[in-house]
């Protein structure tokens, strides 16, 4: 910041190398020459600036265009990210809607958690990329920004020498004293009002490096955003599947809070979840989403009807028929996807797992 101490109040006040023998203090409204030592230093600084090649304080046409269109680049990245996130957003909404309308809750937590984690991972990673690009853009803008006007109606000042600036070509103004390029966009000036930087040499080199870095970031960011929308959901699903398989392999005990009952169906005596809310205030038995096609989703029990309850442990050793086939129950456990489940061994020595809800007692092969 080009500033000297006011000879009247002692507070720092901005000065211009173009007028080293005059200063204006906003605090005490002093108008006049700065202290002699300060004026001499300002003249020496002005000499240094004028001796350097003005092109080192200027933006090339290509760099100027890049800087002026930085906001549009950021807007394009937002559009790319929005389009790339549409598939995972739609898929998440569809799955959650299906879980919400489904009367069976087995596996809802795991399935819902997987899709929500995928969506959050995609949106979070994409937002991080966009934030990084935006921060880099602001750094470039602040490196080129003029000093904001000291009061409404006054011109902005050159960030190199402090001289007042004209209107320029809209976004960039060239200083009439030192020929340095300044970004004078109102939004940028408002953001950097409290920050005033002076650059005496290698201006274009410093800004060119920042703009080149910004160009690499923006050109790669679009690909990164698209890749995020595609890779993150797949990665999250693979991790979730691995976690489910580990939990399934551990065979945790059944959830004892779930009650089951055996009822007569077109396929014989079948097991379902016992729940209130049947017709006429009676109970209902739900056979779940893993039932055989011939079983209804739910079967109501008449009010006052006798209920034949069955515990999961009582099924061990019994012959059952499931959607996958028939066999003998070897083990009961809790599955993160199917809820309370059984392992059924067939006569040929192979086995399969099935939800308890939907099992039919007896060993007849399913049709």
pLDDT tens-place string over residues 237-253: 777 777 767 766 778 88
Give the pLDDT score at 1: 54
3-state DSSP call for residue 244? Answer: helix
- Residue 31 confidence class, pLDDT cut points 50, 70, 90: very high
Query: Hey, how many other C-beta atoms are within 10 angstroms of the C-beta on 27?
Result: 12
Alpha carbon of 187 to those of 69, 157, 190, 324: distances in Å?
Answer: 14, 16, 5, 66
Please enumerate in sequence order all residues whose Cβ is within 8 A of that of 104, keeping only pairs 6 or more positions apart, or say none: 286, 288, 289, 297, 357
Rg (CA), the chain: 37
On the question of pLDDT at 233 being above 80, the answer is no
24 burial level (CB within 10 Å; 0-12, 13-18, 19+): middle
Average pLDDT, the chain: 79
> What DSSP designation does 55 have?
G
On the question of pLDDT at 356 being above 50, the answer is yes
- Residue 196 confidence class, pLDDT cut points 50, 70, 90: low
Taking the CA of residue 31 as centre, how many other CA atoms within 13 Å lie in the half-sphere pointing to its CB? 1
Distance of alpha carbon 174 from alpha carbon 211, whole angstroms: 19
251 burial level (CB within 10 Å; 0-12, 13-18, 19+): middle
- Give the pTM: 0.53
Alpha carbon of 9 to those of 29, 30, 32, 34, 108: distances in Å?
Answer: 10, 9, 13, 12, 71
Let me know how long the chain is: 367
Distance of alpha carbon 116 from alpha carbon 107, whole angstroms: 14
The 8 Å CB, 24+ separation contacts for 239-242 are: 240/110, 240/113, 240/114, 240/117
Give the pLDDT score at 139: 77
Distance of alpha carbon 290 from alpha carbon 156, whole angstroms: 72
Nearest Cα to Cα of residue 214 among 139, 136, 141: 136
Query: Hey, how many other C-beta atoms are within 10 angstroms of the C-beta on 16?
Result: 22
Q: Residue written as tokens 């079948």?
A: 270
The residues facing 213 across adjacent strands are: none
Distance of alpha carbon 122 from alpha carbon 142, whole angstroms: 30
- Residue 359 confidence class, pLDDT cut points 50, 70, 90: very high
- Residue 211 confidence class, pLDDT cut points 50, 70, 90: low
On the question of pLDDT at 120 being above 70, the answer is yes
Structure tokens at 32: 């006049």
Distance of alpha carbon 238 from alpha carbon 284, whole angstroms: 37
Nearest Cα to Cα of residue 96 among 72, 112, 118: 112
Mean pLDDT score, 258-285: 81
Alpha carbon of 24 to those of 5, 184, 190, 193, 194: distances in Å?
Answer: 11, 22, 22, 18, 18
Q: What is the dihedral of CA 100, 114, 257, 298, to 10 degrees?
A: 40
- Residue 17 confidence class, pLDDT cut points 50, 70, 90: confident
Q: pLDDT: is 279 or 112 the higher one?
A: 112
Give the pLDDT score at 365: 46
Under 8 Å between Cβ of 27 and 11: yes
Under 8 Å between Cβ of 122 and 152: no
Helices (H) and strands (E) in the chain, counts: 7, 16
3-state DSSP call for residue 234? Answer: helix
Structure tokens at 75: 């807007």
Distance of alpha carbon 228 from alpha carbon 76, whole angstroms: 16
């Amino acid at each position: 910041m080009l500033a000297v101490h006011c000879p009247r109040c002692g507070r720092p006040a901005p000065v211009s190398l173009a007028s080293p023998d005059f200063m204006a203090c906003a605090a005490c409204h002093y108008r006049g020459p700065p202290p002699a030592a300060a004026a001499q230093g300002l003249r020496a600084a002005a000499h240094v600036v004028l001796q350097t090649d003005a092109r080192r304080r200027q933006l090339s046409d290509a760099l100027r265009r890049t800087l002026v269109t930085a906001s549009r680049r950021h807007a394009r990245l937002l559009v790319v990210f929005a389009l790339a996130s549409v598939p995972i957003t739609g898929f998440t909404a569809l799955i959650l809607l299906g879980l919400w309308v489904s009367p069976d809750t087995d596996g809802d937590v795991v399935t819902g958690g997987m899709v929500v984690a995928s969506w959050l991972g995609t949106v979070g990673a994409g937002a991080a990329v966009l934030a990084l690009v935006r921060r880099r853009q602001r750094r470039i803008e602040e490196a080129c920004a003029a000093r904001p006007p000291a009061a409404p109606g006054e011109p902005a000042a050159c960030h190199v020498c402090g001289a007042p600036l004209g209107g320029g070509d809209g976004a960039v103004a060239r200083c009439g004293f030192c020929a340095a390029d300044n970004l004078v966009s109102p939004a940028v000036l408002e953001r950097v009002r409290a920050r005033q930087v002076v650059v005496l040499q290698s201006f274009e080199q410093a800004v060119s490096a920042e703009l080149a870095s910004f160009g690499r970031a923006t050109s790669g960011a679009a690909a990164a955003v698209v890749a995020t929308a595609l890779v993150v959901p797949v990665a999250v699903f693979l991790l979730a599947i691995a976690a489910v398989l580990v939990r399934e392999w551990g065979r945790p005990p059944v959830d004892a809070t779930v009650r089951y009952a055996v009822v007569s169906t077109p396929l014989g005596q079948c097991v379902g979840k016992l729940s209130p809310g049947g017709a006429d205030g009676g109970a209902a038995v739900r056979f779940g989403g893993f039932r055989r096609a011939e079983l209804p989703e739910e079967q109501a029990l008449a009010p006052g009807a006798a209920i034949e309850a069955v515990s999961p442990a009582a099924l061990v050793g019994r012959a059952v028929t499931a959607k996958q086939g028939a066999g003998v129950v070897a083990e009961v456990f809790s599955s993160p996807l199917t809820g309370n489940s059984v392992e059924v061994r067939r006569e040929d020595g192979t086995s399969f797992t099935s939800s308890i809800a939907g099992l039919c007692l007896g060993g007849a092969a399913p049709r």
